[in-house]
């Protein structure tokens, strides 16, 4: 079973059970973003979480095995096209150098890890239009000399 076939099976089960990603994540005991990324095939689950997920969705052992495999992470376009995804590319272009300046002033020379990292999404209600709040939290990794 490929990761793609796994995702298709999960989405079918999710639809037929009428569950949201947030519902499933709550039952499995993980954040919605991490759980969804594993279901879409860009992260792997530990055995315990995988077992819970399959129980929640009533899925077979094939999904159980495949979701624990370490994925090759790839994406379709060098420069993303879907407007939702593109805006994050644009933010990287417009604010990348600015973020580097601020972080390096606060932490020294280094980067924010994208591996020892979490990402959460909240909804901020606002009468002028609700707002999406995205919080990224990554370990600062300092460059070392040797």
User: What residues numbered 36-55 form the site for a copy of itself, per CB under 8 A?
Assistant: 36-38, 40, 42-46, 49
Q: Does 96 bind a copy of itself (CB under 8 A)?
A: yes
Query: Which one, of 71, 52, 67, 75, lies nearest residue 9 by Cα?
Result: 67
- In this structure, how many other beta carbons lie within 10 angstroms of the beta carbon of residue 5? 13
Task: Tell me which of 90, 101, 118, 131 is the catalytic residue.
Answer: 90
Separation between Cα atoms, residue 80 and residue 122, nearest integer Å? 23
Residues near 72 by beta carbon (within 8 Å), at least 6 away in sequence: none
Residue 70 contacts a copy of itself per CB under 8 A: yes
Residue with Cβ nearer a copy of itself (17 or 100): 100
Query: CB of 119: closest distance to a copy of itself in angstroms?
Result: 6
Among 16, 22, 60, 87, the one annotated catalytic? 87
The catalytic residues are 87, 90, 113
């Amino acid at each position: 079973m490929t990761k793609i076939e796994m995702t298709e099976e999960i989405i079918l089960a999710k639809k037929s059970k009428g569950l949201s990603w947030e519902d499933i994540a709550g039952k499995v005991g993980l954040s919605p973003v991490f759980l969804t990324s594993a279901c879409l095939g860009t992260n792997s689950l530990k055995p315990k979480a995988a077992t819970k997920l399959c129980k929640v969705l009533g899925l077979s052992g094939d999904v159980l095995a495949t979701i624990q495999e370490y994925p090759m992470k790839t994406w379709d376009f060098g420069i993303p096209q879907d407007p939702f995804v593109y805006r994050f590319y644009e933010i990287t272009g417009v604010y990348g150098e600015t973020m580097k300046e601020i972080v390096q002033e606060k932490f020294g020379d280094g980067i924010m890890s994208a591996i020892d990292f979490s990402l959460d999404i909240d909804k901020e209600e606002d009468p002028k239009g609700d707002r999406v709040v995205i919080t990224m939290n990554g370990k600062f990794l300092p460059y070392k000399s040797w």
